């Protein structure tokens, strides 16, 4: 059944019912609500502005539903939200503006120790490239330069959904390093990671993303990846060198990228990286 205002009002506990959608006036009379658990339903659509009347809501559990898209205005009104659970949905697309008004949630994710972050970098890579990450990248980042790195298999919290771990750890990291390869571009989860990292750029206007290309990617191969192409036009990025003599310089440039602060992108020095002229 569709969740209308009267339907929700008649439910003593909306958890594990047959709610299919949330509409704009469903919570009109629930303005003082602070916690809402509507997990384990069949919700596949949340109308923009559905939570506009729930400004006091601090906890929202939407886990175990059928959500596929997070739209730009889906969470408008949730200015005091500190916990949002989205585990076990079917989310494949996140609008970069979906979390724009979740100020307290974003502040909560940014809390950390020392610099305000739990990690210096979140590593986004495909498992096919894990050998390079473990054998080449990690020893330099962690041992040579002493950066604290977040890895999927080592640092993700057991029992939480992959998407929740991705979002939380990207926001708990000062930078996100994306290791781009053909395998990376074909990965659903890698796509989600770069979407979340891109959202931080547009939302915070900070230099938080470092792109490393392990191989040449022809422009025509990148054409379906609109977000990637946009990033390539606006950011300088690095390419793993074929000539071993250039590897020390590559590590030096990467370390420089890691040292850039949390200032706005245009305030940070531009690295002399690999910039393909053929990107349209």
Average pLDDT across the chain, whole number? 76
Residue at a domain's end among 86, 112, 138: 112
Pick the most confident of 115-129, 155-169, 217-231.
115-129
Number of domains composing the chain = 2
Question: Is 71 in the same domain as 148?
Answer: no
Kindly report, residue by residue over 139-151, the tens digit of the pLDDT. 999 999 999 999 9
Residues in contact with 199: Cβ distance below 8 Å, sequence separation at least 6, in sequence order: 94, 96, 97, 98, 99
Provide the domain limits for residue 60.
Answer: 7-112
Q: Is residue 265 part of a domain?
A: no
Q: CA-based diameter of the chain, in Å?
A: 71
CATH code: domain of residue 38: 3.80.10.10
Residue given tokens 């003082």 in the structure block: 32
Kindly report, residue by residue over 217-260, the tens digit of the pLDDT. 876 666 555 555 555 555 557 999 999 999 999 999 999 999 87
Q: Is residue 267 part of a domain?
A: no
Question: Is 103 in the same domain as 176?
Answer: no
User: Please, which pLDDT band fits residue 267 given cuts at 50, 70 and 90?
Assistant: very low
Which of 47, 94, 52, 42 lies closest to 70, judged by CA? 94
Burial 146-172, CB ≥16 within 10 A → b, else e = ebbbbbbeebbeeeebebbbbbbbbbb
Determine which of 108-112, 179-183, 231-235 has the lowest per-residue pLDDT on average.
108-112
Pick the most confident of 5-9, 202-206, 274-278.
202-206
């Amino acid at each position: 059944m569709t969740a209308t205002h009267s339907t929700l009002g008649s439910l003593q506990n909306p958890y594990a019912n047959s709610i299919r959608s949330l509409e704009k006036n469903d919570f009109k009379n629930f303005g003082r609500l602070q916690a809402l658990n509507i997990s384990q339903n069949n919700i596949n659509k949340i109308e923009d502005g559905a939570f506009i009347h729930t400004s006091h809501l601090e906890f929202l559990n939407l886990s175990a539903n059928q959500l596929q898209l997070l739209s730009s205005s889906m969470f408008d009104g949730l200015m005091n939200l500190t916990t949002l659970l989205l585990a076990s949905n079917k989310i494949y697309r996140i609008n970069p503006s979906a979390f724009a008004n979740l100020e307290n949630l974003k502040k909560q994710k940014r809390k950390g120790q020392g610099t305000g972050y739990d990690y210096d970098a979140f590593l986004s890579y495909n498992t096919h490239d894990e050998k390079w990450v473990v054998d080449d990248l990690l020893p330099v980042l962690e041992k040579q330069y002493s950066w604290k790195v977040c890895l999927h298999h080592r640092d993700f919290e057991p029992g939480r959904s992959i998407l929740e771990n991705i979002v939380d750890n990207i926001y708990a990291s000062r930078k996100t390093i994306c290791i781009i390869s053909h395998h990376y571009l074909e990965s659903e989860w890698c796509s989600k990671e770069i979407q979340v990292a891109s959202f931080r750029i547009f939302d915070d206007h900070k230099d938080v993303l470092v792109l490393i290309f392990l191989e040449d990617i022809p422009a025509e191969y990148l054409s379906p990846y609109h977000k990637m192409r946009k990033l390539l036009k606006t950011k300088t990025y690095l390419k793993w060198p074929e000539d071993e003599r250039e590897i020390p310089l590559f590590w030096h440039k990467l370390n420089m990228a890691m040292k850039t602060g949390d200032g706005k992108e245009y305030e940070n020095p531009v690295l002399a990286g690999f910039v393909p002229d053929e990107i349209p």
